[in-house]
C-alpha cells in the first residue's frame, strides 16, 4: 500500500524512498556499481598521479647527465696549498664555504656528497731532445680529483712521485744533445746556458698513452699554450719549459659512476680530426703534493677549480619542486665562483610535463565522469518510470512537488553517495600516504552530478500536470524555444572551446603557461559530445520520418510502426542515445590518443637510434677502432656503415650555416630501415646518384637551413673537408633523418660518392647501423666492450623502453586503456537500458497490436527497428566525434611530450577500427533486442489484454 504523505514534512517517508529503489532493483544496483567504478577511478587518479609525479621527478633527475642534475661551481683564482697537511685543504674549505653560505637550506638538504677537481692550464707537448718531432699537435693538462685513489687501479709502472729538476742546455748555439751538461763549458761567446727544468710525473690511462704515443718512463717537453687565457699575457712559451714523465698506466673505474660527473677527459683524450688535420687534448693524474710547486713555478693567473655538489634525487619531493626551482636562482657564491646547473631546467621540465599529463588525463576523465552521470540519469529514468503509477497516486493524495523532488534527491544520495564514499574509502585505505584533496573534489563532483541526475530523471513525474501524466506518453516538443536556445548555446560553446584550445596549442611553447588543471580543456570533450548528441536527436526525427514513410509503402506495417514508434519516444527514451554517443566518443578519443602516443614513441626510437642498433665512436665523428670487424659484428643482420663529419663548412652559398655531414651507404641503409615507420623515400636519389662516376654528388639536406632559406633542388655547393672540397647537388630536402639532430642543419651524402671524391684517401667508418631483434643486444654489448670504451652501442629497443617507461607516459597509457573499457561498458549498459526504459510502453502498445493480429515475429521486428537504428547512429556518430575530437585537440594536448618530443605526433583515425567497434556494439545490441523480445513474446493474451485495457 502506498504511504500517505505527511503534510509539512520535507519528504514522503522512508517507505516511499525504499519502494522507489526496490521497484527496479537491477537499475538501482547498476547505478551503485557504475558509480562505484567511477568513484574508484576518480579517487584513485589524483592519488596515483602524486606517486607517479614523485617517481617521474626522481627518475628524470637520475637519468639526466650529472652536470645537469648536480650543481657545480668554477673558479680560476690562485688558491694556495697547505704544505703542513693536505695540499688541497684550502680548496676543500672554499667548497664548504660555498655550500654553507651560498646555498639555501632547501638545496643543502638534498646535497648528498661533494668533491673538488683541480686542472692546470693547458700545455703544448713537444718532443724531448733526441726524439723525433711529433706528427700532430698535442696538448696536455694535469688533474687532481678528490678521492680518486678509490677509483683507479695501477696496471704498470707507478703512481706519480716527487722528481728533482734536471739540468738542460738552452740557447741558440747549444749542442744537439741538450742533456750533455757535464761536457758543456759556459762561455760568453756562446749563447747557450745551463738551466734547471722542473720535472712533473703523471699517470695516464692506456688510451691516453696510446694516442700520445708514449710509454712508461717516456719524457716530453711541456710549454705554455698561448691560447689558454690562464697563462699571463706576454708569456713566451720558450722561456718556460717543463718536463712531463709518464710514471705509470692506470685503469679507471667505469665512467658511468656518479663520481666521474660524466667527464671522460681523464679516461681518454679528446681528438679532433679531418682528412688532413688531427689534434689531441690529453689529461694525466698528478701527484697531490706537487701542487704548491706547480703554483710557484708556473707563470699563471691561476688554476681551474671545480666544486661538484651531488644531488640525491631520493631526497627530493615533488611537492617541493617549485620551491627548489626558485632556490636554485638564489644561490649566491661568497667569492667569484660561477655556478652551473640545469637543476632548475629539469624541475621546470617536470612541472610542465606534469601539467600536460594532468591536462590530458583530466580531458578523458571528465568525459568518463559525464558519461557516468548520463548513465545514472538513464537508469534513474527507468526507476522513475517504474514508479510512475505510484507517483501519480501520491500526488493525487496531496504530495507536493517539493516533497517529490527531495525524495528523489535522497534516493540519489542513497545510491550515488554511498557508492562514491565506498570507492573513496577503498582508495584511501590502499594509498593512505597520498594527498586526498583532488580525490575529494572529484568524488564531490560525482556525488553532486549523480544526485542531480536522479532528481532530473524524476522531474517530469514531479512537476508535470496530473492530467498529462495520466495520458499516454507524447513526444517532446522539438521546436520549443527553450530547447532551441539550449542547443544553439551548446554548439557555440563547443566550437568556441575547440577554437580557443587549438589557438592555445599552436602558440609558441615559450608563451604557454603550465597549469595543473585546465577547466576549459577538461570540459571541452564533454561539451563536444553533448553537442553532437543534440544534433543527432535533432536530425533523428526527420530521418526516422522519412524511413517510416518509405516503410509505409510496404504491404505490412512493421517498418512503418517501428520507425513511427521511434519518433514518438519520450525524453526518457531518447536520453540513452546521447549517453551511448558520448560513451563511444570518450572511448574512441582515449583509444586514438593512446595509439598516437604508442606510435609516436616507436617513431622517436627510430629517430634517436637510426636503426635497431647503432655502433659509433664515443665522440661524434671519431672513427671506429680498426680492429672492429663490422661484418662479424653484423653476423647475418642487415647493416650499413657511415661516416660523420660534425661542424662542416659549406662553400658556394650566401651566408651558409655550419652543417653536420653524414656519408651513408644508402642502398644498405634502405634495407636496415625496410618495413619501419621511418623509411626515407628520398634515399632513392642517393642510390641512383651513386651510379654516376662524374659530376657533383647528390645530397639530401635539412629543411632547417641557414638565414637565407633552404637551397632549392638542383643547387650546387661544396663541402669543406680539409684540403678536399667535394662538390654536391641538392637532390632532396627532408624534415628529418634518422639519428641526426633536428635542431641543426645537416647534409646526407652517399658513402660511395664521398669515397670517389676523396680518391685514394680512405673514408673511415665512424658509425654502423644494424637491423636485428632485441635478443642481439647482449652479443653486441660484448663486442662493444672489447673495444675498451672506444665505441658506444645505441639500441632502439632501449630508447623505446626508456620513453615508454617514463612514469607519466605509463600512467597516461594505462589510464587511457581503463577509460576506454569503462566508457564502452557504460555505453553498452546505456544501450541495453533503452530496452528497459521503454518496456512498459512497448508492452502496452504491443498488447493493442497483438489483439489486432500482430504476430510474435512482427513484434520482434518492430522492437528491433525501434531500438537498433538510434543506437547504430549514436555509435557511428560517437566514434566519428571521438576521432575528430582527438584530431582537433591534439595541439592543446601536446602529445609529443609523451613520445620523446622530437617528432610531431600523428593522430590518425582508422576507419576500419571504428567500423569494427561499431559493428561489435551493433551485434551486441541486436542480440540483446532479440533476446528481450524472445523472452516476452510468449506472454499470455490475457496479460496483454489487461495491458491494453489500461
Assign 251 a pLDDT band (cuts: 50, 70, 90): very high
Is the pLDDT at 32 greater than 50? The verdict is yes
The average pLDDT across 309-318 equals: 90
DSSP tag of 724: B
User: Among 49-63, 92-106, 221-235, which stretch is predicted with the lowest mean pLDDT?
Assistant: 221-235
Looking at residue 510, its pLDDT comes to 46
Is the pLDDT at 941 greater than 60? The verdict is no
Looking at residue 132, its pLDDT comes to 64
**How far apart are the C-alpha atoms of 244 and 875, rounded to whole Å?**
81
Convert the pLDDT of each residue in 431-471 to its tens digit: 876 665 566 777 888 888 888 888 887 777 666 666 555 55
Looking at residue 538, its pLDDT comes to 74
Is the pLDDT at 399 greater than 80? The verdict is no
Q: Three-state SS string across 830-869, please?
A: HHHHHHHHCHHHHHHHHHHHHHCCCCHHHHHHHHHHHHHH
Beta bridge partners of 200: 244
Is the pLDDT at 831 greater than 70? The verdict is yes
Strand 123-126, strand 277-285: pairing: unpaired
DSSP conformation letters of 94-120: HHHHIIIIIS-HHHHTTEEEEEEEEEP
Spatial contact of 107 and 327, defined as CB atoms under 8 Å apart: yes
If DSSP codes are grouped into helix, strand and coil, which group holds residue 432?
coil
862 CA to centre of own chain = 51
Contacts of 85 (CB under 8 A, 6+ apart): none
Looking at residue 71, its pLDDT comes to 93
User: Among 25-34, 205-214, 394-403, 649-658, which stretch is predicted with the lowest mean pLDDT?
Assistant: 394-403
Convert the pLDDT of each residue in 675-731 to its tens digit: 787 778 888 878 776 556 677 889 999 988 877 788 888 889 998 887 778 889 998
Spatial contact of 251 and 602, defined as CB atoms under 8 Å apart: no
Query: Is pLDDT larger for residue 889 or for residue 862?
Result: 889
Looking at residue 155, its pLDDT comes to 93
**How far apart are the C-alpha atoms of 80 and 86, rounded to whole Å?**
11
Is the pLDDT at 472 greater than 80? The verdict is no
Assign 234 a pLDDT band (cuts: 50, 70, 90): low
- Residue 862: CB atoms within 10 Å: 26
Query: Is pLDDT larger for residue 910 or for residue 601?
Result: 601
Looking at residue 77, its pLDDT comes to 85
**How far apart are the C-alpha atoms of 3 and 390, rounded to whole Å?**
10
**What are the backbone angles phi and psi of residue 891, rounded to the nearest 5°?**
-60, -40
Looking at residue 911, its pLDDT comes to 77
Assign 940 a pLDDT band (cuts: 50, 70, 90): very low
**How far apart are the C-alpha atoms of 583 and 589, rounded to whole Å?**
10
- Provide the whole-model pTM: 0.78
Is the pLDDT at 1 greater than 50? The verdict is no
**How far apart are the C-alpha atoms of 871 and 877, rounded to whole Å?**
10
Looking at residue 260, its pLDDT comes to 93
Looking at residue 646, its pLDDT comes to 85
DSSP conformation letters of 726-765: -EEEEEEEES--TTS-SSS-EEEEEHHHHHHHHTTS----
Query: Would you tell me the crossing angle of helices 401-412 and 343-386 to the nearest 10 degrees?
Result: 130
The average confidence (pLDDT) of the chain is 79
Query: Is pLDDT larger for residue 498 or for residue 949?
Result: 498
Strand 71-75, strand 219-224: pairing: unpaired
Contacts of 467 (CB under 8 A, 6+ apart): none
Assign 830 a pLDDT band (cuts: 50, 70, 90): confident
DSSP conformation letters of 283-329: EEEPPGGGHHHHHHHS-BS--EEEEEEEE-GGG--GGGHHHHHHHHT
Convert the pLDDT of each residue in 543-593 to its tens digit: 666 666 666 566 665 555 656 665 666 555 577 888 888 888 888 889 889
**How far apart are the C-alpha atoms of 874 and 759, rounded to whole Å?**
69
Is the pLDDT at 497 greater than 90? The verdict is no
Residue 465, judged by CB atoms within 10 A of its CB (0-12, 13-18, 19+), counts as exposed
Looking at residue 637, its pLDDT comes to 85
Is the pLDDT at 67 greater than 80? The verdict is yes
DSSP tag of 231: B
**How far apart are the C-alpha atoms of 667 and 677, rounded to whole Å?**
17
User: Among 505-509, 785-789, 846-850, which stretch is predicted with the lowest mean pLDDT?
Assistant: 505-509
Which three cell numbers, joined as nine digits, stand for 811?
600512467
Query: Is pLDDT larger for residue 433 or for residue 375?
Result: 375
Residues of the chain with pLDDT > 90, as a percent, come to 14
If DSSP codes are grouped into helix, strand and coil, which group holds residue 683?
helix
The average pLDDT across 845-874 equals: 65
Looking at residue 682, its pLDDT comes to 80
Query: Is pLDDT larger for residue 27 or for residue 21?
Result: 27
Is the pLDDT at 92 greater than 80? The verdict is yes
**How far apart are the C-alpha atoms of 26 and 48, rounded to whole Å?**
32
Assign 17 a pLDDT band (cuts: 50, 70, 90): low
Residue of 872, 877, 859 lying closest to 925 (CA atoms):
872
The average pLDDT across 99-118 equals: 92
Spatial contact of 140 and 225, defined as CB atoms under 8 Å apart: no
Is the pLDDT at 912 greater than 50? The verdict is yes
- Hey, CA dihedral for 52, 54, 55, 58, is it positive or negative? positive
**How far apart are the C-alpha atoms of 513 and 522, rounded to whole Å?**
16
Query: Is pLDDT larger for residue 413 or for residue 7?
Result: 413
Amino acid at each position: 500500500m502506498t504511504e500517505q504523505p505527511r503534510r509539512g514534512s520535507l519528504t514522503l517517508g522512508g517507505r516511499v524512498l525504499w519502494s522507489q529503489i526496490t521497484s527496479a532493483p537491477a537499475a538501482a544496483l547498476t547505478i551503485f556499481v557504475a558509480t562505484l567504478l567511477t568513484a574508484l577511478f576518480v579517487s584513485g587518479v589524483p592519488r596515483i598521479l602524486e606517486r607517479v609525479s614523485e617517481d617521474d621527478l626522481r627518475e628524470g633527475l637520475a637519468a639526466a647527465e650529472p652536470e645537469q642534475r648536480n650543481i657545480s661551481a668554477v673558479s680560476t683564482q690562485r688558491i694556495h696549498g697547505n704544505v703542513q697537511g693536505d695540499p688541497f685543504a684550502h680548496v676543500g674549505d672554499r667548497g664548504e664555504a660555498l655550500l654553507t653560505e651560498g646555498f639555501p637550506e632547501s638545496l643543502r638538504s638534498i646535497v648528498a656528497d661533494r668533491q673538488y677537481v683541480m686542472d692546470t692550464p693547458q700545455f703544448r707537448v713537444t718532443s724531448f731532445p733526441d726524439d723525433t718531432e711529433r706528427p700532430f699537435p698535442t696538448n696536455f693538462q694535469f688533474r687532481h680529483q678528490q678521492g680518486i685513489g678509490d677509483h683507479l687501479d695501477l696496471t704498470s709502472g707507478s703512481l706519480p712521485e716527487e722528481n728533482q729538476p734536471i739540468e738542460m742546455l738552452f740557447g741558440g748555439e747549444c749542442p744537439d744533445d741538450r742533456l750533455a751538461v757535464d761536457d758543456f763549458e759556459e762561455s760568453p761567446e756562446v749563447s747557450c746556458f745551463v738551466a734547471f727544468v722542473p720535472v712533473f710525473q703523471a699517470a695516464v690511462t692506456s688510451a691516453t698513452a696510446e694516442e700520445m704515443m708514449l710509454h712508461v718512463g717516456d719524457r716530453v717537453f711541456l710549454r705554455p699554450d698561448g691560447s689558454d687565457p690562464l697563462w699571463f699575457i706576454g708569456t713566451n712559451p720558450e722561456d718556460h719549459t717543463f718536463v712531463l714523465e709518464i710514471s705509470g698506466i692506470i685503469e679507471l673505474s667505469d665512467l658511468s659512476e656518479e663520481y666521474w660527473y660524466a667527464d671522460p677527459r681523464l679516461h681518454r683524450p679528446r681528438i679532433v680530426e679531418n682528412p688532413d688535420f688531427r689534434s689531441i687534448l690529453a689529461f694525466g693524474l698528478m701527484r697531490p703534493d706537487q701542487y704548491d710547486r706547480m703554483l710557484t713555478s708556473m707563470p699563471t693567473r691561476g688554476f681551474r677549480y671545480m666544486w661538484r655538489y651531488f644531488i640525491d634525487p631520493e631526497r627530493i619531493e615533488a611537492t617541493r619542486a617549485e620551491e627548489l626551482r626558485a632556490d636554485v636562482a638564489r644561490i649566491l657564491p661568497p667569492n667569484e665562483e660561477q655556478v652551473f646547473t640545469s637543476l632548475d631546467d629539469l624541475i621546470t621540465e617536470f612541472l610542465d610535463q606534469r601539467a600536460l599529463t594532468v591536462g590530458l588525463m583530466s580531458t578523458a576523465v571528465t568525459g568518463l565522469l559525464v558519461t557516468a552521470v548520463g548513465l545514472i540519469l538513464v537508469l534513474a529514468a527507468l526507476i522513475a518510470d517504474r514508479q510512475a503509477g505510484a507517483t501519480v497516486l501520491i500526488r493525487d493524495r496531496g504530495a507536493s512537488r517539493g516533497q517529490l523532488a527531495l525524495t528523489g534527491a535522497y534516493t540519489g544520495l542513497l545510491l550515488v553517495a554511498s557508492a562514491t564514499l565506498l570507492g573513496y574509502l577503498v582508495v584511501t585505505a590502499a594509498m593512505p600516504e597520498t594527498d586526498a584533496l583532488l580525490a575529494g573534489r572529484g568524488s564531490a563532483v560525482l556525488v553532486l552530478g549523480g544526485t542531480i541526475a536522479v532528481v532530473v530523471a524524476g522531474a517530469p513525474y514531479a512537476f508535470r500536470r496530473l492530467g498529462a501524466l495520466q495520458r499516454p506518453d507524447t513526444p517532446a516538443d522539438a521546436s520549443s524555444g527553450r530547447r532551441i536556445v539550449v542547443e544553439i548555446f551548446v554548439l557555440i560553446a563547443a566550437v568556441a572551446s575547440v577554437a580557443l584550445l587549438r589557438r592555445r596549442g599552436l602558440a609558441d611553447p615559450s608563451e604557454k603557461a603550465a597549469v595543473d588543471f585546465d577547466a576549459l580543456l577538461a570540459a571541452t570533450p564533454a561539451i563536444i559530445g553533448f553537442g553532437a548528441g543534440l544534433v543527432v536527436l535533432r536530425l533523428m526525427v526527420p530521418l526516422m520520418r522519412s524511413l517510416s514513410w518509405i516503410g509505409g509503402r510496404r504491404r505490412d506495417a512493421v517498418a512503418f510502426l517501428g520507425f513511427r514508434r521511434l519518433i514518438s519516444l519520450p525524453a526518457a527514451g531518447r536520453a540513452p542515445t546521447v549517453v551511448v554517443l558520448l560513451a563511444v566518443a570518450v572511448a574512441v578519443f582515449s583509444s586514438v590518443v593512446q595509439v598516437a602516443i604508442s606510435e609516436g614513441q616507436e617513431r622517436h626510437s627510430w629517430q634517436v637510434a637510426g636503426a635497431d642498433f647503432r655502433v659509433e665512436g664515443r665522440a661524434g665523428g671519431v672513427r671506429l677502432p680498426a680492429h672492429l670487424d663490422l661484418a662479424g659484428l653484423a653476423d647475418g643482420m642487415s647493416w650499413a656503415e657511415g661516416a660523420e663529419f660534425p661542424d662542416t663548412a659549406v662553400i658556394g652559398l650566401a651566408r651558409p650555416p655550419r652543417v653536420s655531414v653524414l656519408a651513408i651507404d644508402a642502398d644498405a641503409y634502405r634495407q636496415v630501415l625496410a618495413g619501419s615507420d621511418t623509411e626515407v623515400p628520398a634515399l632513392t636519389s642517393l642510390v641512383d646518384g651513386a651510379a654516376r662516376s662524374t659530376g657533383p654528388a647528390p645530397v639530401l639536406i635539412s629543411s632547417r637551413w641557414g638565414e637565407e632559406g633552404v637551397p632549392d633542388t638542383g643547387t650546387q655547393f661544396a663541402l669543406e673537408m680539409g684540403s678536399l672540397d667535394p662538390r654536391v647537388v641538392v637532390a632532396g630536402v627532408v624534415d628529418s633523418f634518422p639519428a641526426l639532430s633536428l635542431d641543426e642543419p645537416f647534409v646526407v651524402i652517399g658513402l660511395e660518392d664521398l669515397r670517389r671524391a676523396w680518391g685514394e684517401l680512405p673514408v673511415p667508418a665512424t658509425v654502423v647501423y644494424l637491423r636485428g631483434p632485441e635478443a642481439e643486444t647482449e652479443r653486441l654489448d660484448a663486442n662493444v666492450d672489447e673495444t675498451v670504451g672506444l665505441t658506444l652501442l645505441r639500441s632502439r629497443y632501449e630508447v623505446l623502453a626508456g620513453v615508454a617507461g617514463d612514469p607519466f607516459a605509463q600512467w597516461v597509457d594505462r589510464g587511457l586503456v581503463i577509460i576506454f573499457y569503462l566508457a564502452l561498458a557504460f555505453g553498452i549498459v546505456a544501450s541495453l537500458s533503452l530496452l528497459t526504459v521503454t518496456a512498459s510502453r512497448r508492452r502496452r502498445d504491443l498488447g493493442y497490436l497483438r489483439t489486432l493480429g500482430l504476430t510474435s515475429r512482427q513484434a520482434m521486428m518492430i522492437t528491433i527497428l525501434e531500438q537498433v537504428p538510434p543506437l547504430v547512429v549514436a555509435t557511428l556518430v560517437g566514434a566519428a566525434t571521438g576521432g575528430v575530437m582527438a584530431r582537433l585537440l591534439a595541439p592543446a594536448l601536446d602529445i609529443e611530450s609523451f613520445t620523446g618530443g622530437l617528432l610531431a605526433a600523428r593522430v590518425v583515425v582508422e576507419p576500419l577500427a571504428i567500423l569494427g567497434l561499431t559493428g561489435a556494439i551493433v551485434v551486441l545490441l541486436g542480440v540483446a533486442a532479440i533476446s528481450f523480445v524472445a523472452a516476452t513474446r510468449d506472454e499470455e493474451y490475457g496479460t496483454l489484454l489487461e495491458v491494453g485495457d489500461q
